[in-house]
Structure 1
Amino acid sequence: MKNRDNDKVYKLVLTALMAALCYVAFTFLKIPIPTPGGDTTALHIGNAFCVLAALLLGGGYGGVAGSLGMTIADLLDPVYITSAPKTFILKLCIGLIAGFVAHNIAHITEDHDSKYIVKWSLIASIAGLGFNVVMDPIVGYFYKNYILGVESSAAKIMATWAAGATLVNAIVGTIVVVVVYMAVRPVLKKAGLFMKIK
């Protein structure tokens, strides 16, 4: 029983840490890109920490970390505050998808050679961030057009620019995730902090 409580505390602490990393990566390490429609998109690696959390903790915890960190970042930035509800949903989905691929399909926390782990952490990252590349502009268009009431042509322009930035973010984020996960995994194992996700 005590071990389970320790696991829960460890997962909560690591989730909070990953949420903080998502927040910091988006708030302080982004490159804002103004769009012709008067909106702003950004190049950032915040989503990478959402996927990394999903690989380390499972999809649910990873999704929550990304949702909380990135939504708080949106809420505290007047430029992105209206995007917060959309951000919460999309980041949760990124974590759930990446975690599902990594743990339910590939079982990456079990003993495998490093080639297998690289391959499946890459596939899981592509699945989660690829979902975002497709859905962020689509959800963004409908959200801006039907919820926020932005004129249709302006919403299309904003969605197009956001799609380009999201693709770049996904490519860079995938590389960051695989490199960091492969570096952190043996360290956590050696320290006895690596968790097997079922």
Structure 2
Amino acid sequence: MGKNYQLRKLVFAGLFAAIIFVGISALRIPLPAVVGRPFIHFGNTLTILAVMYLGFGYGAAAGAIGLGLFDILNGYAATAWLTVIEAIILAAVVSAVFRMLDYDEDHLTKLFIVSMAAGIIKLITSWGTGIIEALMVGTTLKVAVIGAFTSLLAALINAVASFLIVPIVYMLLVKLGFSRQRFNP
């Protein structure tokens, strides 16, 4: 990969990280929960788009920086490391599924498959994060597992939003000239 393409991907990774951070900061709806302080936001949706355009490495970095920085600066610093791990796992799943589908950006069905896989992994990682957060405050494993499960409403809403929004936004951006090939020669 030439230096020009590396620089372009680095710049767009930084841009995505900033958009993710601002997207969460500007629009979030808190929800009550037994474990943690979940809220509805578009950070995961934007992270999925970053990975689809930039690939695993740069997309994961954009998601981890944008989501992690938000957590650090907004009262979630103690668990920001969990958010970064979630972003990396999300990026790995999105990248693997998108690769298995041959990076096909012309078929809406395949884009929905990618976003569905992202939504499922987000539910799983959110549940795992909820368990770890509950254990960090001293609950037993059984209480942590149940409490984390009952706190998944925000993750479910975010997963459904990503499932619906990612394919449509991705196709719109492709029509505007932002294709994956532009970033990955």
Aligned counterparts of 1:44 and 1:30: Cα–Cα separation in 2 = 5
- Give a deviation string over 1:12-71, Cα, whole Å, max 9, x none: 11111111121112222110123245x411011110011001111112221111111000
Aligned to 1:27: 25
Flag the 1:171–1:50 CA change in 2: closer, same or farther, 3 A.
same
Gaps (5+ residues) in structure 2? none
Q: Is the 8 A contact 1:53 1:65 kept in 2?
A: yes
Aligned to 1:151: 139
Aligned counterparts of 1:120 and 1:55: Cα–Cα separation in 2 = 12
Q: Relative contact order: is structure 1 or structure 2 higher (C-alpha 8 Å, sep ≥ 6)?
A: 2
- Give a deviation string over 1:104-135, Cα, whole Å, max 9, x none: 212226xx7x3x2x122211121123111112
Structure 1 counterpart of 2:51, one-letter code: A
Tell me the TM-score normalized by structure 2.
Answer: 0.88
Q: Is the 8 A contact 2:34 2:148 kept in 1?
A: no
Deviation for aligned residue 1:161: 4.0
Aligned counterparts of 2:10 and 2:54: Cα–Cα separation in 1 = 9
Structure 1 counterpart of 2:65, one-letter code: L
1:6-155 equivalences in 2 (<5 Å): 6-36=4-34, 39-78=36-75, 80-102=76-98, 104-108=99-103, 114=106, 116=107, 118-145=108-135, 148-152=136-140, 155=144
Tell me the TM-score normalized by structure 1.
Answer: 0.82
Structure 2 counterpart of 1:84, one-letter code: A
Aligned counterparts of 1:67 and 1:10: Cα–Cα separation in 2 = 19
Residue 92 of structure 2 aligns to a residue whose secondary structure is helix
Number of corresponding residues: 184
- Give a deviation string over 1:46-99, Cα, whole Å, max 9, x none: 100110011111122211111110000000011x22220100001111112111
Structure 2 counterpart of 1:48, one-letter code: T
Flag the 1:86–1:189 CA change in 2: closer, same or farther, 3 A.
closer
Structure 2 counterpart of 1:168, one-letter code: I
Q: Is the 8 A contact 2:134 2:148 kept in 1?
A: no
Give the aligned CA root-mean-square deviation in angstroms: 2.4
Residue 34 of structure 1 aligns to a residue whose secondary structure is coil
Residue 188 of structure 1 aligns to a residue whose secondary structure is coil
Residue 194 of structure 1 aligns to a residue whose secondary structure is helix
Q: Is the 8 A contact 2:21 2:66 kept in 1?
A: yes
Structure 1 counterpart of 2:183, one-letter code: M
